[in-house]
Amino acid sequence: MGNIIGGDLLDLGVKLQVTAGANLAAKTFVNLAGTVPSSAAVCTGGIVDKDTPSGEVADVKMAPAVLEVVATGTVTLGAQVEILTGTIVCNISGTQTNVTGAGVQDLASGYPVGRALTAGSAGDTVLVQLHTNQAKTA
């Protein structure tokens, strides 16, 4: 069963596991193949649950859901958001490590992956209602 978040928002709590193809930062996007999606691209997976070393299994939270996501650019409350890659600091095996991660910014030219339920700027964590069909237009 899912959780009713408010109004008609439903979080089904769907998770799957993927093998990390690189070090992955928590609260960032990952494809089903374990790779970091490109900026403005569609993501085939979901959001990484916790910092995960390359080669290990990562828990990935899937749409439909409202999830915390790292902002890698400006995010406006209520705006459609797209993926933007950037450098994110995470903890890999007890060591602070810079990784390339896929967070969100306001939709500019790519595929909308969700709608921002909170606002923020690069480095913040924002709430995003993930789309189940990420290839849809804004």
The reply to whether 24 falls in a domain is: yes
The reply to whether 123 falls in a domain is: yes
Query: What is the number of domains present in the chain?
Result: 1
- Per-residue pLDDT at 31: 94
The reply to whether 119 falls in a domain is: yes
- Would you write out the chain's pLDDT as a tens digit for each of its 138 residues? 455 454 455 556 678 899 999 999 999 999 999 999 999 988 888 999 999 999 999 999 988 889 999 999 999 999 999 999 999 999 999 999 999 999 999 999 888 999 999 999 999 999 999 987 655 554
The reply to whether 137 falls in a domain is: no
The reply to whether 136 falls in a domain is: no
- Per-residue pLDDT at 15: 86
- Per-residue pLDDT at 1: 43
The reply to whether 34 falls in a domain is: yes
Burial 63-95 (b: 16+ CB within 10 A, else e): bbbbbebbbbbbbeeebbbbbbbbebebebeee
The reply to whether 40 falls in a domain is: yes
The reply to whether 110 falls in a domain is: yes
Task: Please work out, in degrees rounded to the nearest 5, the angle formed at the alpha carbon of residue 116 by the alpha carbons of 62 and 67.
Answer: 30
Q: For residue 21, what are the domain limits?
A: 3-130
Nearest Cα to 2, choosing from 117, 132, 112?
A: 132
